[in-house]
């Protein structure tokens, strides 16, 4: 098996605490040299959050803040400029510090269904309530992802780019569990074929390998693989039942990579224990697995990232 990341590597999921992007990027490049990523710093405020960043990527679909929530707007305004300025500043910092990087570099974007569940329509209610609007949003995001990946490739000409698509809301979207505007009902579920089509549109638009990340329970692993994901990123503490283990094992048997979200003092042990439960040879583990935190970081990052890096390298002991 070959995957677009180094054997025995570790990476972050994306978000980190703090407001200094230059310091955050230095930490990532120093602590995760095998698979660094572009940090996200939501503590800077609206526009630096996941949904605001997604809005900054959309084409011909401007967004704005209204009553503390992002919604589709009639025209670009101040809130969208702030979000795009944050993104441009982050990319400039990445370029300054990593322009000569020659390995695999990861960037992150929110997925179409998480955006559809979080963005509001101008008339109220989530975009998700309108299937036509959801489809338009996925196409807009796909165009934005194409441009975003091209920009990163131009800024890091010697690197291999890996795109992480964050879909924490996907299980709720599929199960019809996204609350309505009133909060007293839920929006209707999205058919698996419709969900797959939107995901595939975004994944294929990237033109680079895609890691589909979901830190919620009941991740639809087969859907993500068939939509075109090269790897899935999961919180391993949520994979506990025999059914969940079987589903994960089936995807790994299809040669899907695993970004294993682990915490605690022995992340390498947690990954090995999972691999043994699944019945796979340990010799394939360091090739197929990347060690990550379970989700974004809200604690001082250096000790966590250092432990993950060391865990990834310890997985190579079994080669």
H or E element: which one contains 289? strand 289-292
Cα(38)–Cα(199) distance, integer angstroms: 22
pLDDT the model gives residue 319: 80
- Asked whether the beta carbons of 212 and 165 are under 8 A apart, the reply is yes
| pTM, two decimal places | 0.97
pLDDT the model gives residue 204: 98
Look at residue 1 and tell me whether its pLDDT is greater than 80: no
pLDDT digit string, tens, across residues 161-189: 999 999 999 999 999 999 998 888 999 99
Q: Which two tokens stand for residue 252?
A: 């790994």
Buried b (16+ CB within 10 A) or exposed e, 36-68: bbbbbbbebebbbbbbbbbbbbbeebebbbeee
Cα(271)–Cα(235) distance, integer angstroms: 11
Q: What is the DSSP annotation of 199-224?
A: HHHHHHHH-S-EEEE--SSS--HHHH
Provide mean pLDDT across the span 238-247: 94
pLDDT the model gives residue 75: 97
CATH number of 21-318: 3.20.20.210
């Amino acid at each position: 098996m070959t995957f677009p990341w180094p054997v025995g590597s570790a990476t972050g999921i994306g978000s980190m605490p703090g407001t200094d992007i230059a310091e955050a990027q230095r930490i990532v490049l120093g602590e995760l040299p095998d698979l660094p990523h572009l940090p996200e710093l939501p503590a800077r405020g609206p526009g630096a959050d996941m949904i605001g960043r997604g809005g900054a990527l959309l084409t011909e679909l401007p967004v704005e803040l209204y009553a503390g929530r992002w919604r589709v707007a009639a025209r670009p305004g101040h809130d969208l400029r702030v979000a795009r300025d944050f993104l441009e500043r982050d990319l400039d910092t990445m370029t300054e510090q990593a322009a000569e990087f020659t390995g695999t570099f990861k960037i992150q974007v929110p997925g179409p269904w998480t955006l559809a569940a979080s963005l509001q329509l101008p008339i109220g209610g989530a975009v998700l309530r309108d299937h036509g609007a959801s489809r338009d949003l996925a196409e807009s995001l796909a165009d934005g992802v194409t441009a975003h990946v091209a920009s990163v490739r131009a800024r890091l000409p010697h690197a291999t780019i890996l795109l992480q698509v964050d879909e924490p809301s996907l299980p709720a979207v599929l199960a019809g569990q996204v609350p309505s505007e009133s909060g007293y009902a839920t929006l209707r579920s999205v058919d698996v074929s419709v969900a797959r089509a939107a995901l595939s549109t975004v994944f294929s638009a990237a033109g680079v390998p895609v890691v589909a990340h979901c830190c919620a329970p009941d991740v639809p692993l087969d859907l993500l693989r068939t939509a075109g994901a090269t790897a899935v990123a999961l919180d391993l503490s949520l994979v506990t039942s025999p059914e969940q283990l079987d589903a994960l094992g089936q995807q790994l048997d299809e040669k899907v990579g695993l970004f294993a979200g682990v915490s605690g003092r022995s992340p390498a042990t947690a990954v090995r224990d999972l691999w043994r439960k699944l019945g796979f040879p340990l010799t394939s583990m360091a090739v197929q697995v990347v060690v990550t935190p379970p989700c974004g970081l809200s604690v001082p990052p250096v000790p966590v990232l250092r432990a993950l890096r060391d865990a990834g390298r310890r997985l190579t002991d079994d080669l």
